[in-house]
Amino acid sequence: MDRNLVERYANIQQLEDFFSIKLPEHLANEYEKRQIYLKVNQQQMMQTIDFTPPFLRIDKMAIFDTIKDSWLQSKSLGMGVITTKDTSGHYNDTIFLAMCGWLMASSASVHLGFLFPLKTPQVIEANKVRPILKGSNSSIVWKPSAKGTPFWVETVVLKKKLQLVAVVTRITFGNILYGTIEELKLILTDKKSIWSAKEIPL
């Protein structure tokens, strides 16, 4: 891993300039003093992961480097916009947790794709997928706005054992903490194995 790519932001304004949108207060407080390992757009994501994960709607992602010479506790923050077209046909066109689960899993695949460029991250299990709306927000059914609603997806690497990686993810709409996957498991498969995959015989 090349630590020469790491840069330090002096203030949150530079991070907001990259995303071209103001960060919600809780995210600004979380990421203001972190080192950034890499900043990527959607085109770079697709070139790196070399496949299309379900519901990849992230437009940009920043990957944060927290522990020297280790990817444990590495964080990423992805940003995109959900429109009414994305939710068409889903429970009266509302945003529901299953769709957000796809967003969170896609973000995790992208995050790990950049950390391990010779591997293809594949989701194999998702435990404790749950909404985390609290208080008055818990009884509201949400739809994206007609102009589109920005969202944020966070991923944190919890542990890695051989080719198995466990992460925690959560999705935020503005200041609304919408949902989380507390333990999302991905397997890191060699890209060469994917490219040379054989068809199962009849």
Looking at the structure, give the CATH architecture of the domain made up of residues 3-194: Roll (3.10)
State the pLDDT confidence band at 22, using cuts at 50, 70 and 90. Answer: very high
Pairwise pLDDT comparison (140 vs 116), residue with the higher score: 116
- DSSP for 144-159 reads --TT-EEEEEEEEEEE
- In our burial notation (b when 16+ CB lie closer than 10 A, e otherwise), range 16-38 reads eeebeeebbeebeebbeebebbb
pLDDT digit string (tens) for 31-71?
A: 887 888 889 998 899 888 876 666 778 999 999 876 555 77
What is the per-residue pLDDT for 188? 94
CB 138 within 8 A of CB 63: no
Amino acid at 92: N
What is the per-residue pLDDT for 10? 46
Q: Positive or negative, the Cα torsion across 90, 94, 96, 102?
A: positive
The pTM score is 0.85
